Amino acid sequence: MTEMAILYDTSLCTNCKGCQVACKVWNNLPSPIGTNENKFSGSLQNPADLNGNTRLIQTFQERDAVRGQKPVDWIFNRRSCQHCTEAPCATVCPAGAITKDEDTGFVHVDDSKCVGCHYCEGVCPFDVPRYRTEGIRDYVNKCTGCPDRVAQGMDPACVSTCQPNALRFGPRDEMLELAQERLEILKGRGYEDAEIYGVNEMGGLHVISVLKYGREATGLPANPSAPATVGMTRVMKPITGVVTGLTVVGLAAMFALGVGYKRDKLVYNPETEDTVSLITGDVVKHGDAQDEKSIKEHILENHPFGIGKGGSDE
Q: Is 56 in the site for ligand SF4 (CB under 6 A)?
A: yes
Min dist CB 188 to ligand SF4, Å, is: 22
| Nearer Cβ to ligand SF4 (145/258) | 145
Smallest gap from Cβ 162 to ligand SF4, in A, equals 3
Query: Is 206 known as a binding-site position?
Result: no
How far apart are alpha carbons 95 and 111 in whole angstroms? 10
- Number of residues located near ligand SF4, criterion CB under 6 A: 40
Smallest gap, in angstroms, from Cβ of residue 130 to ligand SF4?
A: 10
| Nearest by Cα to 271 from 94, 129, 90, 88 | 94
**Residue 276 contacts ligand SF4 per CB under 6 A:** no
- Which residue type occupies 250? G
Cα(26)–Cα(154) distance, integer angstroms = 12
Using CB atoms within 10 Å of the CB of residue 13, give its burial: 0 to 12 exposed, 13 to 18 middle, 19+ buried. Answer: buried
Return the axis-axis angle of helices 244-257 and 229-240, rounded to nearest 10°.
170
Q: Whose Cβ is closer to ligand SF4: residue 93's or residue 246's?
A: 93
CB-based contacts of 312, cutoff 8 Å, min separation 6: none
Q: Pick from 5, 50, 97, 128: which binds ligand SF4 (CB under 6 A)?
A: 128
As a whole number of angstroms, the distance between CA 226 and CA 16 comes to: 32
CB of 198 to ligand SF4, least distance (A): 10
Site string for ligand SF4, 137-166 (x = CB under 6 A): -----xxxxx---------xxx--xx-x-x
Residues making up the annotated binding site for [4Fe-4S] cluster are 13, 16, 19, 23, 81, 84, 89, 93, 114, 117, 120, 124, 143, 146, 158, 162
